[in-house]
Every structure is written in C-alpha cells, then in structure tokens.
C-alpha cells in the first residue's frame, strides 16, 4: 500500500472478496533534497489510516538500501552513459515483483497484490501465465510491467484489472477511504514530484558545454549533456528563431546536437534495435511462439501502439524490428514493449 487511492481500493476489494489482507508499505526512499522534501511519511500515514479503517493488519518493509542500489544507482549510471532510463520499470522488476514478492512469501503470504492497472491470464499448458492490458486503456500499466517474471505472475493479483480509474474513485468514496480524492503521484518512482534535472544535480557533477546545430555551428551552451534526451525541445537555452530539437549528444565531448528541421533524419526512425530482451512466457521467448501473429509495439507509456515486424532475434538478449511508420525521437535507454492483441509479450531496451 503506497498511500495512494489505487492500492487503497485494491486492499478494500480483496477484503470484500474474502481474502485475509495484510497492508504493506514499502519504504524505498526517505531522503529530503534541497527544496524537495520527500513525501514518504505522509504516504505511510495515509496507507496506515486506510488499513486501520479497513480493519486489516499493516506493516512496513524497509527496502531503502536495495532501492538505492537496484533503482537509483542504475538510473544514475544510465544517465551518465548518455541514455534515458525508465526507473519505474526497474523498480517493478527488481523491487516490487522480486524483493517485495520474496519478502512477503517468506513472511507467510500466499500472494501479493498491487494497485497496477493490468490483468493476468493463463496462457495455456506449456506456455505459462500471460500479462494482459487493463480494461482502462488510459491507465493501462503493462508497459511498466513487461519485465515481470512467471514466478511473480504466479503469485500476484491485480484487483484493478477490470476497473476504470473513475470507478476506483467512486469505490474509494463508497468505502470512505481517506485517499479517495488524493492526487496522482506523477514524479520519479517513489521520490515524489521532483523534476529529473533537479534530482540528478544532487548526485552528478556537471560542466557547461556546446550546443551545435545541424550545420555544425555553435548556437548556445548547456549545463551538462546528461540532462538532455533525444527529441527534447524545452530547456534548450538557445534564443530566437525556430525551435531546436535535440538529435544526439556526445558524452565524452559533452556536446549536445540540435536541429531546427523537424524532418531531420536523425530525429526519425523506422527500425528499432534492442538489447536486454525479456519475454514474459514461451509465446515470446526467442520468437518460438510468435509465428504469424500480428505484433504491435509501444515505445513510451501511453504512446500509441504501432504495427511492427520482428526482423531478427539475434540472441536471447538482442533483437531488431521494423516499424510500420516512422517515429520521432526513438531514445536509447527507453523500453520498446511488444503486444499481440491485448497480450503484452515482453520487450527490450532501445540501443
């Protein structure tokens, strides 16, 4: 229980369905940063209030050291390498559906549940469990869950898979939960509403560098190439004229490359190369079960699904795919997640 409305309603629904429910708050981050107080204590207290209201046991697991190592350090290393990681995906893979799952099972639990908008299906004999898109397409979180394991799916319940966000709010009011009208948390996973640049500046020393346009001219300066991502428009302190878009960067030279041409070929891609592939079950694994299935890919959370053809599964960890249409700002470090109909098959990291 994170202290938000989704996990609060999930607990209420499970209790109503007859489960013996224990609420658990994961303390993953408690560090205050200059001008950025961490909201963990408020969230913990909200989660505890809901648990008391529902009449369920409540406890806290302290994963702060593991979270620092497995999520924050990973994120910082990726940014230092010039990539743009997704810490929420790593948090799900390493903390929620590995560390939390294992700790809960050792603590006597039979199953874990979270407030994610997703569904779990049985893929059939010899295939394994499947991850399915939620009823609420606007809130579907399978993009963040694509690295989930069979072991985790076997021991997980997603109570909100067939519920829409407006219905969750209504249920929260019906159950008189203090989190009924609590706003969404849209910041860095478990850190709160902190701009990523402000967060990174607390951990990484940066130095000014050149901003160079498509003609090779220096058109401005930046305060660290690490802060910029492919396709970025805002935050470039380049005055006057047409807007500039980031097309690339050189971390060794500490240079950021930009263009004013929205049709610049460096901004657009039809082919996506991937590493660190993860398939959820045997249908995706090395393409053995994909066959003639029509595939689609999502390149960002809430981005539209694009038809895609798997060109090459180079190994268990690498793949190459062709998109049915050009996409702008394909960003190294981000995830490409594959779907067949409503089923999320898995995905990989863009290189």
Rg (CA), the chain: 22
How many whole angstroms separate alpha carbon 46 and alpha carbon 126? 42
Residue with tokens 């967060």: 199
What are 88's two structure tokens?
A: 């929420």
Burial 273-288 (b: 16+ CB within 10 A, else e): bbeebbbbbebbbebe
Burial 22-34 (b: 16+ CB within 10 A, else e): bbbbbbbbeeeee
How many whole angstroms separate alpha carbon 326 and alpha carbon 139? 25
How many whole angstroms separate alpha carbon 332 and alpha carbon 272? 10
Among candidate residues 24, 91, 112, 345, the one labeled active-site is 91
In sequence order, what are the beta bridge partners of 249? 256
Contact between residue 18 and residue 52 where contact means Cβ atoms under 8 Å apart: no
Contact between residue 211 and residue 238 where contact means Cβ atoms under 8 Å apart: yes
Contact between residue 130 and residue 281 where contact means Cβ atoms under 8 Å apart: yes
Altogether, the residues listed in the chain come to a count of 351
Say whether 344 is catalytic: no
Say whether 189 is catalytic: yes
Nearest to 103 by CA among 91, 112, 115, 92: 112
Among candidate residues 26, 95, 152, 189, the one labeled active-site is 189
Distances (CA, A) of 23 to 2, 14, 318: 9, 11, 39
Contact between residue 146 and residue 132 where contact means Cβ atoms under 8 Å apart: no
Active site residues: 91, 189
């Amino acid at each position: 229980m994170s202290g938000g409305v989704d996990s609060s309603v999930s607990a209420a629904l499970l209790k109503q369905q007859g489960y013996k429910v224990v609420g658990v708050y994961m303390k993953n981050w408690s560090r205050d940063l200059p001008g950025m107080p961490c909201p963990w204590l408020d969230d913990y207290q909200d989660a505890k209030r809901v648990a008391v209201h529902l009449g369920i046991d409540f406890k806290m697991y302290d994963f702060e050291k593991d979270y620092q190592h497995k999520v924050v350090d990973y994120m910082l290393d990726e940014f230092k390498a010039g990539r743009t990681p997704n810490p929420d995906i790593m948090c799900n893979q390493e903390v929620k559906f590995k560390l939390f799952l294992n700790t809960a099972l050792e603590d006597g639990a039979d199953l874990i549940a979270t407030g994610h908008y997703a569904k779990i299906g049985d893929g059939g004999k010899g295939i394994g469990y499947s991850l399915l898109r939620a009823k609420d397409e606007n809130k579907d979180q399978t993009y963040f869950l694509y690295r989930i394991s069979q072991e985790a799916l076997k021991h997980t319940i997603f109570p909100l898979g067939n519920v829409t966000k407006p219905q969750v709010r209504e249920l929260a009011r019906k159950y008189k939960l203090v989190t009924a009208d609590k706003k969404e948390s849209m910041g860095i996973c478990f850190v709160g509403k902190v701009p990523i640049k402000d967060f990174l500046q607390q951990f990484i020393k940066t130095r000014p560098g050149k901003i160079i346009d498509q003609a090779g001219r220096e058109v401005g300066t930046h305060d660290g190439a690490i802060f910029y991502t492919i396709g970025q428009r805002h935050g470039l302190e380049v005055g006057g004229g047409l807007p500039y878009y980031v097309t690339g960067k050189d971390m060794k030279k500490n240079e950021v490359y930009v263009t004013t041409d929205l049709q610049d070929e460096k901004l657009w891609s039809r082919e996506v190369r991937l590493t660190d592939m993860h398939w959820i079950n045997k249908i995706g694994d090395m393409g053995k079960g994909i066959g003639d299935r029509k595939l689609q890919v999502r390149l960002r959370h809430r981005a539209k699904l694009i038809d895609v053809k798997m060109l090459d599964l180079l190994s268990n960890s690498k793949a190459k795919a062709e998109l049915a249409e050009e996409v702008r700002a394909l960003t190294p470090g981000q995830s490409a997640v594959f779907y067949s109909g409503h089923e999320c098959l898995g995905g990989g990291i863009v290189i």
